[in-house]
Amino acid sequence: MFADQRDALLARTVLRESAENDTFPGLPRPRTDVTIIIARDAQHMRELSGPGTPEWGIALAHPALRRIIIQGRGAASEAGDPLIALRHELAHLALHEFMDDLPPRWFDEGYATYAAGEWRRDDALATQVALALRGVPTLAGIDSAFYGGATRAQYAYALAHRAVADLAALDPKRGLSLLFVEWRARGSLDSGVRHAYGLTLGTFEAMWRSRTRRRYGALGVVTDLTLAVVILLVVIAPLYVARRRRDRLRLAALKERDAAAEQRERESAIDALLGANDAPATPPPSATTDGPSA
């Protein structure tokens, strides 16, 4: 264990966690020693790991060196729980100790998330409308997604996690244990799946893709539609408010003009009445007598 003094408490917690939780689903207990390095932050981790470190990496395992690097107290908030990250990386080492380099990338990452109990990976699938529109990729197709940037990588982790969890669910009593034995003995994942679960890898893949699409595709569509409605409201609401404000101002102006017109009419009527009252009275015509003159 290597760590700065400021990460001494984390180092002690990591050591205790490693000792108390040293078994992994379906695998025998690891026997080889592991070196754990706690990096100060993401930059320090990249310096220790080399230029190939992905930008979203929060912890790394080097099976050939039996070494794990995790971020310490200086890690960003997205680094998450360091104990879960540690468990994830230890699972990689345990898998490679027993299976060597047999597991493909999707199984390697899927097993690590499954062993670490990262069930929230499923959340990434629940928001993927692509599952409903384009379908679920093949197991081999998941591997390429790990190299497509942070967003696609999270999507790939979630799919890989779901695939390994569904494999383990095929045998509720033994989980993955028989698969590992058969796979290791025969050197082929397809042969291992055949002898452990009684179906081909292709059959499992078709079942998994269909089930995943049904389970999460509809949620993706609902989420996408909900997001579209929210965006629409964000765009329309200010326009609606502005229009209502213009309508209120226009109505107020009309009321003012009507009130002014009524006031002018009243004043004109009053002026007419006052003018009629002030006019002089017309004298009556003088009386005349018609008759002969004297």
For 25, the token pair is 């689903």
Reported confidence tier of residue 206, pLDDT bands at 50, 70, 90: very high
For 63-106, the pLDDT digits (tens) are 999 999 998 877 776 667 889 999 999 999 999 999 999 999 99
Reported confidence tier of residue 249, pLDDT bands at 50, 70, 90: confident
- Can you give the pLDDT at residue 278? 57
The Cα–Cα gap between 125 and 223 comes to 11
Residue tagged 């009593």 (tokens): 173
Reported confidence tier of residue 222, pLDDT bands at 50, 70, 90: very low
Residue tagged 């045998």 (tokens): 171
**Do residues 59 and 85 touch, judged by C-beta distance below 8 A?**
yes
- Can you give the pLDDT at residue 226? 41
Q: Of all helices (H) and strands (E), which one includes residue 71? A: strand 67-71
* pTM for this prediction: 0.71
Q: Which of 26-30, 45-49, 279-283 has the lowest mean pLDDT?
A: 279-283
Reported confidence tier of residue 144, pLDDT bands at 50, 70, 90: confident
Q: Which of 99-113, 188-202, 221-235, 257-271 has the lowest mean pLDDT?
A: 221-235
**What is the chain's percent helix, strand, coil content, to nearest 5?**
65, 5, 30
> Mind giving me the DSSP string for 117-134?
T-GGGHHHHHT-THHHHT
**184 CB-near residues (< 8 Å, 6+ apart):** 98, 99, 102, 192
For 129, the token pair is 């409308």
- Can you give the pLDDT at residue 50? 78
> Mind giving me the DSSP string for 189-216?
HHHHHHHHHSS-HHHHHHHHHHHHHHHH
**143 CB-near residues (< 8 Å, 6+ apart):** 104, 105, 106, 156
Tell me: pLDDT of 220 over 50: no
Torsion of CA 3, 9, 12, 15, to 10 degrees: -70
- Can you give the pLDDT at residue 42? 82
Nearest of 61, 67, 82, 75 to residue 36 by alpha carbon: 67
- Can you give the pLDDT at residue 284? 55
Q: Average pLDDT over the chain, rounded to whole?
A: 81
The Cα–Cα gap between 113 and 118 comes to 5
- Can you give the pLDDT at residue 273? 66
- Can you give the pLDDT at residue 73? 79
The Cα–Cα gap between 214 and 46 comes to 39
Reported confidence tier of residue 130, pLDDT bands at 50, 70, 90: low
Q: Is 232 helix (H, G, I), strand (E, B) or coil?
A: helix
Reported confidence tier of residue 134, pLDDT bands at 50, 70, 90: low
Who has greater pLDDT, 225 or 137?
Answer: 137
Main-chain dihedrals φ then ψ at residue 213, nearest 5 degrees: -65, -40
